Structure 1
Amino acid sequence: MIYVIDHNDSFTHNVVHQFALFDKVECDNYDKVRENKIKQASTIIFSPGPGNPKDYPITSKIYKKYKGKKRIIGICLGFQHILFCEGARIIEQKKIYHGYQSNIKVINNKSLFQKGKLFKVGRYHSLKLKEPFKSDNFEITMRCITSKVAMAFENNKDKIYGFQFHPESFLTINGNLLIKKILSA
């Protein structure tokens, strides 16, 4: 079972529908998380959402408790939240990407995806990872071709993955392929 933690985002139920193609999905708001559902889940999803990761201390506690024990996937705010919990700084971008399609490229040999592979993805974010960023076992694996902003990370040791973009967006070509690959890792 996949447990989606909703950060009050209009995209969350699109995320739920996409992941439901691969497994049973349960979803609760971040401030109404059910511990018994987390324990049953094989995967925890941190959804997109408004604001900054520091606005969601409950999600931080969940991440710290289940890191290395459950597969964790972060999308947009969820991506930022995981990195924030790993000591990263999350900052405002000069350009806001809401409903914007970008070309991104796999830049890392350690990725589950082939180095050099290109994807068209849907972006909806005003914040980004401040680099450089270093953390044990975390590798930035995809970047925007134009802005060079980090668009994905992988921690294959602890089974933690993140997308700054929205794999469930109609602007993301082959979003289901991306999800299927992460869920099978």
Structure 2
Amino acid sequence: MILVIDNYDSFTFNLVQYLGELRSDIHVVKNDELSFAEVEALHPTHMVISPGPGLPQKAGMSLKLIEHFYQKFPILGVCLGHQAMAMVFGGSLKQAPTLFHGKTSRIYHEGKGILKNVENPFCAMRYHSWIIDHEKPIHSDIETIAYTEDNIPMAIQHKKYFVFGVQFHPESILTPEGKKILKNFLEISYDKAHPLH
């Protein structure tokens, strides 16, 4: 079962719709309406942290859920969820030099993890005003695996665990490779041997 943490965002519906085209077993919960015990009782195979307004510190249980469960099942953070991933592992955020609300960018990547066999570069839709500050320290197990032409981090992953973040919106029709990226994520499991590189 895919557990989607809804950070009170309108894009969550689109994300769930895309995921639903790949798997039917999806459970959506608001970010402030569940506990660790309730998550464990659901026995999710994957968790997706949705986009949302504001900063990760105000996104309900999102930060704590990543911190508590990242070694137990694959987790994907989208937009705000991506920023939350970075913060859990010691990263910092800063305001983007240019606001990206409904704009597309070319994304360059290293073909790792959920970006394996994805077109390079690919076009992706962006809606955000905050970015990971790549000039500030972050845990050595976190690596940037995708970026824009001006070197803004667009995807990260953990080197040892199946933890991924994407700053762009894979559920957008203007991210043609988005469904493939989500499919790659759902094919990852701790029950199988999946190299991250």
Global fold match (TM > 0.5): yes
Q: 1:172 to 1:37 in 2, by over 3 A?
A: same
| Residue of structure 2 equivalent to 1:27 | 28
Mean alpha-carbon deviation: is it higher for 133-142 or for 7-16?
133-142
| Residue of structure 1 equivalent to 2:191 | none
The sequence identity of aligned pairs, in percent, is 30
Scaled by the length of structure 1, the TM-score of the pair is 0.91
| Residue of structure 1 equivalent to 2:87 | 84
The count of corresponding residues between Structure 1 and Structure 2 is: 183
SS in 2 for 1:33: coil
Distance 1:64 1:41 in 2: 16
Contact 1:91–1:127 under 8 Å retained in 2: yes
- Once the two structures are TM-superposed, the CA of residue 57 in structure 1 deviates from its matched residue by 5.0
Distance 2:29 2:83 in 1: 20
Q: In the alignment, which of 140, 148, 161 is matched to residue 144 of structure 1?
A: 148
SS in 2 for 1:94: strand
Distance 1:122 1:115 in 2: 15
**Which amino acid is the alignment partner of residue 82 of structure 1?**
M
- Once the two structures are TM-superposed, the CA of residue 109 in structure 1 deviates from its matched residue by 6.3
Mean alpha-carbon deviation: is it higher for 149-158 or for 11-20?
149-158
Q: Unmatched 5+ residue regions in structure 1?
A: none
Matched, 1:72 2:70: no
Q: In the alignment, which of 55, 59, 62 is matched to residue 58 of structure 2?
A: 55
| Residue of structure 1 equivalent to 2:16 | 16
Distance 2:126 2:118 in 1: 21
| Residue of structure 2 equivalent to 1:36 | 38
- Once the two structures are TM-superposed, the CA of residue 113 in structure 1 deviates from its matched residue by 2.2
- Once the two structures are TM-superposed, the CA of residue 18 in structure 1 deviates from its matched residue by 0.9
| Residue of structure 2 equivalent to 1:182 | 185
Distance 2:70 2:85 in 1: 10
Q: Unmatched 5+ residue regions in structure 2?
A: 189-197
Distance 2:139 2:174 in 1: 30
| Residue of structure 1 equivalent to 2:195 | none
Q: 1:29 to 1:90 in 2, by over 3 A?
A: same
SS in 2 for 1:73: strand
Scaled by the length of structure 2, the TM-score of the pair is 0.86
**Which amino acid is the alignment partner of residue 22 of structure 1?**
L
Q: 1:109 to 1:7 in 2, by over 3 A?
A: closer
**Which amino acid is the alignment partner of residue 123 of structure 2?**
K
Q: 1:60 to 1:144 in 2, by over 3 A?
A: same
